Amino acid sequence: MLDPQQYVPQCLPDRRPLIMWSLVAAGAFVVVALLFAAPVARANGSTTFSFLIYQAFSHLCHQSPERSYFIAGNPVAVCARCTGLYVGFAVALLAYPFLTSLKRIHTPQRKWLFIAATPLAIDFALGFLGIWENTHTSRFLTGALLAAVSAFFIMPGLIQLSLYQRLFHPKAAIHDKPGNTSTKVTSEEVAASPSDYSSPLRRI
């Protein structure tokens, strides 16, 4: 009779999607924190730290002061629209596990992405053509909407990437290659292995 302590459950939960989501969500909130840390650091005399943040985000945003929120007398590291993009994406990631399964690898219909981008396009076009002067609020909200919807298109791809065996288990993937005889299991090993099927009473 097999020792109960040697029992190995056959259906273990796969935590790779959870790990991937946690890493992406944590990274998104770190980025958001840096956006608001830059003006606060400059106001408190940490000029080197704030300069590095502003410089890093200067490659991603025009950083025009007239289009940016101000904190402690200094502009946020990106403009109002980009702030909405970063904040919207981070908030959507936080809500993601409550709205859909972390095991989902299929994206929604692409029409939802175009629908989410429409308010941003209209807001930009009206301001660019001089028909209507957009505001910090309109820039922020339209950017946040697009980024929030984009999260539901990006996360399924990242989750599918996390489930790719060679990403987290490269050695196991090598052993599983076709023609590799190192992973063959004999009938004696199967009969002696502790599993849910070696003892019917364990399945009750």
Ordered DSSP codes for 118-147: HHHHHHHHHHHTTSS---HHHHHHHHHHHH
Q: What is the pLDDT of residues 177-196, one digit of tens each?
A: 555 554 455 555 444 555 44
Instruction: Check whether 134 has a pLDDT greater than 50.
Output: yes
Which residues lie below 8 Å from residue 4, measured CB to CB, with a gap of 6+? none
Instruction: Check whether 144 has a pLDDT greater than 90.
Output: yes
> Are 84 and 144 contacting, i.e. CB atoms less than 8 angstroms apart?
yes
What global pTM score does this model have? 0.74
Q: What is the pLDDT of residues 33-89, one digit of tens each?
A: 999 999 999 999 999 999 999 999 999 999 999 999 999 999 999 999 999 999 999
